[in-house]
Amino acid sequence: MTTIIIPTLLTDPELLQECLDSVFSSTTTQTFEVMVVCNIPQEKSKKTLSKLHLYNATVSHMGVNAGFTGAVNAGIQKSNAEYIVLLNDDATASPDWLDQLVNTQQQTQADMVASTIYLGGSGTIDSQGFTFYWRGKAYPLLQKRGTSHLKSEQAGCLNKKKNIPHLSGEGDHWLNNQQFFTSNTPKFFREPFGPDAAACLYTRKLFDTVGLFDDRFFAYLEDVDLALRARKAGMYCALAKDGVAYHHKHATSGAFPRFKATQDMKNWWRIVLYTYPKKSWRKFWPQILLERGRNLSGWMKSLALAQKAKTKYTTR
């Protein structure tokens, strides 16, 4: 049994309808249920929901905007399914998407399964899961990227004179530092560190072992934090290469650059302070602090852009 959880603010009902249509018109052989979790009070969503074809989806309301983490956690707690599948309300799934995710999990026994996510309306792959650096950085993993992560010295990441790592490069890539994890060997070629939570699968065992998403994150980087906790517990991620979803990125989140920059800054600090093992701090503290400085710089630039836009609007 699989539970598909779709968190929504109902900011774009048409996109949510497309999302539901894609799920319920799938060719899957899996038994599944769909939970739509609304991050607004029921009285405010009633009119909008009445205009949608919800099929047999279950709808629940948070009462307030509890963020991505709050909505998804509520769905997970209501589900008894073996598999928890997440799908953003501004994403659509290919007909065999669910089959591809579940089959990949069953073949690999991975507790996290990433989709191949295309940017909506284009032929551009946005991510196939993400890769991770201990400086506090996660990048979308793309099939076309290089595969030399294990050759950190050849990549020039070690200052051989002083025998210390450079502040950039591959030296802090997770594949070069597997001593921080219970399971030290990647299971697959091009293995993602974790899945993009916009369209992915987690096992029930994962949540029973490491807990739910951290509600304090609200939105952004919650999938990085969860993947890191799962990796520390010896779990791993597989890519369902043919499990295709299409994501209209940030179309319904109401995310502004200032909000995202603020969330990125706060949530990376949460990850490095509360989820990182102490040994990683001892080894990579210069890179970690430098990257947090970059977060701060990005946040300050977002404030300046927001102020500039506000000034332009008020002087029209």
> Which CATH number goes with the domain that contains 75?
3.90.550.10
Residue 258 lies in a domain: no
Give the integer Cα–Cα distance in Å for 91 and 231.
27
How many other β-carbons are positioned within 10 Å of the β-carbon of residue 113? 27
In the predicted structure, residue 302 carries a pLDDT above the cut 90? no
pLDDT, tens only, 31-42: 999 999 999 999
Return the higher-pLDDT residue of 41 and 312. 41
Per the structure, the count of domains in the chain is 1
Give the integer Cα–Cα distance in Å for 247 and 120.
5
Residue 284 lies in a domain: no
Residue-level pLDDT at 186: 62
Question: Is 65:34 a contact under the CB 8 Å cutoff?
Answer: no
Residue 239 lies in a domain: yes
pLDDT, tens only, 140-166: 988 654 433 333 322 333 333 333 334
Question: Is 12:251 a contact under the CB 8 Å cutoff?
Answer: yes
Residue-level pLDDT at 14: 96
Residue 280 lies in a domain: no
Residue 302 lies in a domain: no
How many other β-carbons are positioned within 10 Å of the β-carbon of residue 258? 17
Residue 289 lies in a domain: no
Residue 262 lies in a domain: no
In the predicted structure, residue 311 carries a pLDDT above the cut 70? no
Burial class, 13, CB count within 10 angstroms (exposed 0-12 / middle 13-18 / buried 19+)? middle
Domain containing 200 equals 2-253
Residue 316 lies in a domain: no
Residue-averaged pLDDT of the chain:
87
